[in-house]
Amino acid sequence: MGWQWATVEGAAELIGPADPSEHFAADGLRRLLRDVFTAAGGTHDDWDEYDRVMAAEGRTAVFVTPTRVYSNR
């Protein structure tokens, strides 16, 4: 058996406090980070606290336009 993995290659775009996007204002970034988190299956009991921590840690969303995808399966 062992580990299962997948790889995606392609151009990446960062959207966060150090990498602003004209498409996301400050409130838009807050919503974007929540949306990415919940899309990955995450939940949180205190969204205000989540937002505070994400801002304090300078969290960033990464968008990849795939050109190649492969795995060990």
Considering all CA atoms of the chain, what is the largest pairwise distance in Å, rounded to the nearest integer? Answer: 45
Kindly state the tokens that stand for 51. Answer: 């937002």
User: For 17-68, how does the pLDDT look when each residue is reduced to its tens digit (9 = 90+)?
Assistant: 899 888 887 778 999 999 999 999 999 999 999 999 999 999 999 999 999 9
User: What is the structure's pLDDT at 24?
Assistant: 80
Average confidence (pLDDT) over 3-27? 90
Q: What is the C-alpha R_g of the chain?
A: 15
- The secondary structure of 13-36 as a DSSP string is EEEBTTB-BTTB-HHHHHHHHHHH
User: What is the structure's pLDDT at 73?
Assistant: 82
User: What is the structure's pLDDT at 32?
Assistant: 94
Predicted confidence (pLDDT) at residue 71 exceeds the cutoff of 90: yes
**Residue 4 φ then ψ, to 5°:** -105, 140
Q: Where are the domains of the chain?
A: 6-71
CB 13 within 8 Å of CB 60: no
Q: pLDDT class for 1, splitting at 50, 70, 90? A: low
